[in-house]
Homo-oligomer: A and B are copies of this chain.
Amino acid sequence: MAGRKVLIVYAHQEPKSFNGSLKRVAVEELSKQGCSVMVSDLYAMQFEPRATRNDIVGCLHNSEEFNYGMETLEAYKRGGLSSDLIEEQKKVQEADLMIFQFPLYWFSMPAIMKGWMDRVLVPGFAHEFPNCYDSGLLKNKLALFSFTTGGSEEMYAKGGINGDIRYLLWPMQHGIMHFCGVKVLAPHICFAPEYVSEEKRKEILIAWAQRLRTLWNEEPIICSPEWYFK
C-alpha cells in the first residue's frame, strides 16, 4: 500500500544466505507497492546487544545502584539515550509495520536481535505501566516474525519432538510485541530451507513475495494463550 512505512529488522551475517534473500524479496516487493522501506541490518551495523550503562548519556538517575529499566525510562524522558537507540526508536515510531527477519536460534531470535528488543523498546517509549498490552505505547502498529528453521515442519508439529511452533512464538509475539500494543500478523516460517532443492527455495521466495502483496488485508492473530496453546 503506497505511503505505508515498513521497518525490516534483519539479523543474518551473510547477505547470500536464505534470510538475506527473504529480506531482499521483502524490500523489493514492498518498494514496488510504494511503501517506504527502512532496514536495520543488525550484523552490518554491528548493533550492540548488551544493555549497559553506556546506553545512558550523561549522569545516571541513581548512580549508587544501576537499574537498567529505571535509567532508560529517565534517560528516554530527558532525551538522554545513546544515539544508536534514538535512531532505532525513530524508525519504530515511523513504521506502520515491523518485519523481523532471522534464523531461529535456540527456539528464539539470535542474541543480536534480542538485544535490539532489550535496548530499543524501553519503558516510556514502548510501554509504561499501565500502558501495556492493548494500551501499549506502540499501538496502531503491526509486526510480523519471518524466520527460517533448522528443523523440519514435522518436528515443529503439535506432536513433534520440538513441540508446536506456536509455543516458542509466545515470548516474542505476546511477551514483546503484544505487550507494547503492537498487533501481530501470522508468522512467516520457512522450515529447513538448507535441506531443500534450489528450485524449492525459489518457490519459497515467490510465496513470500505473494504473501506480501496482500499483507495489508490480513487480520492480526489473536494474541492469547488460547490461540497459542489450543
Contact = CB atoms under 8 A, between A and B. Distances in A.
Interface of A: 13-14, 16-17, 43, 46, 49-53, 64-69, 105-108, 110-112, 114-115, 117-119, 121, 133, 150, 161-164, 167-168, 170-172, 174-176, 179, 225, 228-229
Given A13-B68, A225-B163, A108 B108 contact: yes
Contacts of A43: 50, 52
A167 B110 CA distance: 20
A93 to B, nearest CB: 19
Nearest to A107: B175
Copies of this chain, complex-wide, total 2
Contacts of A16: 64-65
A148 to B, nearest CB: 12
A228 B176 CA distance: 20
Contacts of A14: 65-67
Q: Which of A46, A106, A119 lies at the interface centre, i.e. has the most chain B CB atoms within 10 A of its CB? A: A106
A49 B111 contact: yes
Given A111-B112, A111-B119, A163-B228, 16 more contacts: A13-B68, A16-B65, A49-B49, A50-B111, A50-B112, A51-B110, A106-B121, A106-B176, A107-B172, A108-B114, A108-B171, A110-B114, A163-B174, A163-B225, A167-B167, A171-B171
